């Protein structure tokens, strides 16, 4: 008996991919910066099969990387070590409504979840441009943020229960326990943000929120980031996204979209609010919800420039201007294309140009962010990209505790080796 044979017995021949051509889409990450060769890609249909697959992989000592939509941007979703098995959650598609909540299988995409919520007059609080591919399991595992964090929080704030399978095949669940019904530590909460390193999330109970009435979306040119910050109202904000004139020009060049403002501004604010926001009479602005396409097309537009070093950071709001002033010297001789989630200090610093394996710019930018009291992994996770830099933002004691938790949950180090845990 071989592992492949055992996996076929568990999930069926069609759900074990060993042919290189069939494996290929699962072996490179979205940024094309990380790729590897999988021993096999296996696609279990339900929680029981996930548990059986993990037990078999443990028996044969095969490392496992769990993969949802493979839209992750820090190298955490693809095989890297010899003999690694990709466990795809694509077939975990359960979707059951509850009271202002839904139980969703790990493989359900955020887009499908949003359609389901809309059909019952509600909404799901997390939204991101990768919604049609990113999955419930992946967004729980990375504690994904997105464009609505300012209003509803990150994925963690939506989670009301999880079902998880550990590396040894044991099952943990608090799906049926009404959220917050009893005392004691939130053990299942450990798996939010664990990036596939602690266990496989097979389902989540997620809160749904009342569907908001149409808001107002405006795009405004600003001379600098503090002028943009000053336009964000104290309340009623649904989204406040930052772009730059350069970034918008790049998006318009690659997509054919029309430049929206009268001139090119250093900073452009996209604001979605409950009420029409107060703007200066002479503001260079457009009120039109269609400007969201300009924001959502940034990632793909930047990817046309080459392999992107995506530095997903967050700064204290009062430090944004300082960081932006420092940035050109930190990324020289390359240039950065910037955009982000202004309301929460989130910035995506995209740098194209460093040679493969050259992390000089990454380190310079992330060290500066940490020195300014910011986060070096704001919403995409640490993955492979930043697990080695965690000491910039976590104490030695925290990293030691992270290692001990990892060892307690995955003593053989079988799940996503090298991801998250330095
Ligand atoms: P994958 O890429 O498959 O995996 C991501 C990580 O989670 C890996 O470490 C993987 O091992 C682990 N994992 C996946 N499924 C499970 C599971 N069931 N159990 C345990 N571990 C699991 N991210 C944001 O936060 N905000 C954004 O606004 C945003 N916008 C994006 C826009 C574009 C165009 C793209 C390409 C990406 C964007 N992302 C964004 C990044 C990405 O969509 C998120 O990180 C998302 O959470 C990944 O989900 P996924 O299902 O693709 O996970
Ligand atoms: C976004 O905000 O669109 C994402 O985080 C994707 C990215 O950073 O490219
Ligand atoms: Zn983002």
Q: Check pLDDT > 70 for residue 178.
A: no
Side-chain-facing half-sphere of 22: CA atoms under 13 Å:
13
Share of the chain above pLDDT 90, in %: 95
Taking the centre of ligand 2 as the mean of its atom positions, its distance from the CA of residue 350, in whole angstroms, is 10
Establish whether residue 89 lines the binding site of ligand 1, counting it when its CB lies within 6 angstroms of any ligand atom: yes
Instruction: Report whether 88 contacts 78 (CB < 8 A).
Output: no
Task: Name the residue among 336, 335, 334 with its Cα closest to residue 348.
Answer: 336
Distance 415 CA to ligand 3 centre (A): 26
Under the banding of pLDDT at 50, 70 and 90, the label for residue 409 is very high
Give every strand in the sheet of 216-222, ordered side by side: 237-243, 267-273, 216-222, 285-287
Q: Say yes or no: CB of residue 310 within 6 Å of ligand 2.
A: yes
CA triple 398-170-384, angle to 5 deg:
40
Nearest protein CA to atom 9 of ligand 2, as residue: 299
C-beta contacts of 11-18 below 8 A and 24+ residues apart: 11/42, 11/43, 11/44, 11/45, 11/49, 11/53, 15/42, 15/43, 15/44, 15/45, 15/91, 16/40, 16/41, 16/42, 16/43, 17/41, 17/42, 17/43
Residues 410, 60 contacting (CB under 8 angstroms): no
Reported as a pLDDT band with limits 50, 70 and 90, residue 177 is: confident
* Res 333: pLDDT: 95
Closest atom of ligand 2 to 147 CA is 2
Which residue has its alpha carbon closest to ligand 1 atom 13? 138
Residue 133 has pLDDT above 70, yes or no: yes
Give the ligand at the shortest distance from the Cα of 127.
Answer: 1
413 or 177: which leads in pLDDT = 413
Four-point Cα dihedral 352, 353, 359, 365, nearest 10: -50
Whole-number Å distance, alpha carbon 142 to ligand 1 midpoint, is 6
Please check whether residue 243 is in contact with residue 292, taking contact to mean a CB–CB distance below 8 angstroms.
no
CA 138 / ligand 1 centre spacing (Å): 5
Taken in order of first residue, the domains within the chain and their CATH numbers are 3-88 (3.30.43.10), 95-178+185-210 (3.30.465.10), 216-371 (3.30.70.2190)
Is 6 near ligand 2, meaning CB less than 6 Å away? Answer: no
Dump pLDDT digits (tens) for 28-65. 999 999 999 999 999 999 999 999 999 999 999 999 99
Which residues are CB-neighbours of 127 under 8 A, at least 6 positions away? 110, 114, 146, 147, 148
Reported as a pLDDT band with limits 50, 70 and 90, residue 114 is very high
Tell me the two tokens of residue 141.
């595992």
Tokens of 242: 């930052």
Q: Whose CA is nearest to atom 6 of ligand 2?
A: 299
Give me ligand 2 centre to Cα 2, in Å.
41
Q: How far apart are the first and last CA of the chain?
A: 35
Structure tokens at 206: 């997620």
What torsion do the CA atoms of 398, 415, 160, 120 make, to the nearest 10 degrees?
A: 140
- Asked whether 378 lines ligand 1 (CB < 6 A), one says no
pLDDT for the residue 356: 85
CB atoms within 10 A of CB 377: 27
Give, for 129, the enclosing helix (H) or strand (E).
none
Query: Half-sphere exposure (CA, 13 Å, Cβ side) for 140?
Result: 38
H-type helices in 192-343, by residue range? 225-231, 245-255, 292-296, 298-303, 320-331
Distance 22 CA to ligand 3 centre (A): 30
Q: Are 39 and 20 in contact (CB under 8 A)?
A: no
Segment (H or E) for 266: none
**Mean pLDDT, range 264-269, rounded to an integer:** 97
Which residue's CA lies nearest to atom 1 of ligand 1?
70
Residue 77 has pLDDT above 70, yes or no: yes
Q: Say if residues 73 and 310 touch (Cβ distance below 8 Å).
A: yes
Nearest atom of ligand 1 to the alpha carbon of 381: 45
Average pLDDT, the chain: 96
Instruction: State how far the alpha carbon of 381 is from the alpha carbons of 27, 72, 127, 195, in Å.
Output: 19, 9, 17, 7
Whole-angstrom Cα distance, residue 378 to residue 100? 28
pLDDT the model gives residue 131: 98
For range 11-38, the mean pLDDT: 97
pLDDT reported for residue 247: 97
Condensed to tens digits (0 to 9), the pLDDT of residues 82-99 reads 899 999 999 999 999 988
> Percent of the chain scored above 70 by pLDDT?
99
Question: How far is ligand 2, taken at its centre, from the CA of residue 410, in Å?
Answer: 30
241 lines ligand 1 (CB under 6 A): no
């Amino acid at each position: 008996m071989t592992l492949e044979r055992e996996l076929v017995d568990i999930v069926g021949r069609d759900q074990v991919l060993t042919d290189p051509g069939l494996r290929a889409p699962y072996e490179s990450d979205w940024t094309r910066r990380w790729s590897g060769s999988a021993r096999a890609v296996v696609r279990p249909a339900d929680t029981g099969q996930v548990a059986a697959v993990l037990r078999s992989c443990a028996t044969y000592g095969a490392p496992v990387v769990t993969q949802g939509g493979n839209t992750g941007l820090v190298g955490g979703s693809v095989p890297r070590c010899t003999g690694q098995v990709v466990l795809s959650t694509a077939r975990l598609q359960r979707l059951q409504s509850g009271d202002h909540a839904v139980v969703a299988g790990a493989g359900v995409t955020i887009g499908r979840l949003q359609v389901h919520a809309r059909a019952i007059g509600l909404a799901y609080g997390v939204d991101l441009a990768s919604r049609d591919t990113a999955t419930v399991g992946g967004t729980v595992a990375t504690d994904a943020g997105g464009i609505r964090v300012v209003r509803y929080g990150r994925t963690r704030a939506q989670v009301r229960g999880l079902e998880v399978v550990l590396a040894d095949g044991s099952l943990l669940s608090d799906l049926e326990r009404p959220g917050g019904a009893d005392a004691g530590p939130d053990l299942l909460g450990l798996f939010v943000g664990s990036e596939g390193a602690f266990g496989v999330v097979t389902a989540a109970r997620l809160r749904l929120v009342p569907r908001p009435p149409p808001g107002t979306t405006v795009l405004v040119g600003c001379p600098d980031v503090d002028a943009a910050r000053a336009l964000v109202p104290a309340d009623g904000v649904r989204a406040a996204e930052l772009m730059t004139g350069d970034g918008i020009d790049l998006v318009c060049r690659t997509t054919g979209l029309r430049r929206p403002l009268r001139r090119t501004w250093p900073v452009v604010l996209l604001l979605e609010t409950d009420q029409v926001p107060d703007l200066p009479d002479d503001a260079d602005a457009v009120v039109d919800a269609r400007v969201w396409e300009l924001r959502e097309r940034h990632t793909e537009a930047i990817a046309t420039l080459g392999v992107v070093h995506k530095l997903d950071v967050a700064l204290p709001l009062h430090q944004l201007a300082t960081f932006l002033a420092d940035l050109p010297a930190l990324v020289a001789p390359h240039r950065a294309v910037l955009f982000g989630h202004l309301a929460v200090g989130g910035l995506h610093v995209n740098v194209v140009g460093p040679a493969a394996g050259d992390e000089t710019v990454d380190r310079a930018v992330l060290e500066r962010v940490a020195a300014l009291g910011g986060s070096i992994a704001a919403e995409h996770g640490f993955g492979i990209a930043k697990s080695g830099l965690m000491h910039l933002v976590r104490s030695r004691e925290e990293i030691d505790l992270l290692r001990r938790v990892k060892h307690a949950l995955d003593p053989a180090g079988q799940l996503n080796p090298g991801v998250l845990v330095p």
